Amino acid sequence: MRLGHLSFVLCCSLALSVNAGIANDSKTAKRSKDAESKKPNAEQPLVPTLPPPTAEWPDFPGPDASKSKPEPVTPPSSVPETPDTSALPPAPASVEASAAPVQEQTPAQMEPHKRPVPAGYDAAAELYKQKKFPQAAKAFEAIIQKGAANVDTHLSLAYCYLVQRLYSKAVKEFEWVAKYGKNSMTLQSQAGRTAISLRTYMAGVCPAPCLKANDPRWTLKADGKRWIKVQYSSKSARLISEYHVGEYVANINGDPVLKGTCPVCGGTGQVARLKDGDPPPRL
């Protein structure tokens, strides 16, 4: 019994000593932490203070700064150097001084087919619609004298002359339109054909496509006959002998086809000379 009591006492003493040791160790660790916290911050890293946004940012050398150091910048002297301008290109002149003033073309300086509708054209055209051809012709003539007439002005004047049977004046206006009416190939072609017909009538020659004895295109062949080549298209051509003089050669889909005696001149190849004031011809 005494032995058991003694053992219990020894166990309790051992437990108390262990607890005391743990308590001492914790106190020692706390004292060491407090001592470390009271030491100066000599080993803490320094964080550079950034300057305000308007100031220049400091240069922090990189890892290769020791290998290549930047060359020192020499401060400028108090007296600035005069720059050498001998190798520099000349300074451009101001836009206002160098740019030439752009001048718009007047209607007289433009090509006839590009000219705008001239002043007075509408009034002249109204007279034409009212069949007041003499007054309309004078109005169109006045526009042309100013040098601003377009193609329509000359074409209208041509028809004014034609209906008044002033063929010698009309043919000149049709020829003008055939030359300068570049805005329409159809208009040029029609005006050209009308001018040729008028010139032919005024010369006393039949304007129809009939074979005329005095045509310079006749060619003497080995058979002793004269032959003429008639061609209305690039696909078809026909040689016709002189025995068909006075016959009408029609254009049938580009092919020349003989249609018998010419109904315009009766096979003679001639008509009465057209003069101003004569009844209008068949154009």
Contact assessment for residue 207 and residue 272, using Cβ atoms and an 8 Å cutoff: no
Say what the pLDDT of residue 283 is.
76
CB 183 within 8 A of CB 112: no
Which segments in the chain show pLDDT lower than 50? 1-6, 8-10, 14-16, 18-20, 22-23, 29, 33, 35-70, 72-79, 91, 95, 97
What pLDDT, on a 0 to 100 scale, did the predictor assign at position 148?
A: 86
- For the segment 210-236, what is each residue's pLDDT rounded down to a tens digit? 999 999 999 999 999 999 999 999 989
Task: Return the CATH class of domain 108-202.
Answer: mainly alpha
Predicted confidence at residue 262, as pLDDT, reads 96
| 112 φ/ψ angles, rounded to the nearest 5 degrees | -55, -40
Residue 212: count other Cβ atoms within 10 Å of its Cβ: 21
pTM strictly above 0.85: no
Strands (E) located in 64-174: none
Amino acid 90: pLDDT: 55
Q: Where are the domains of the chain?
A: 108-202, 208-269
Q: What's the confidence (pLDDT) of residue 119?
A: 93
- Give the span between the Cα atoms of 150 and 125, in whole angstroms: 13
R_g of the chain, CA atoms, integer Å: 57
pLDDT digit string (tens) for 244-258? 999 999 999 999 999
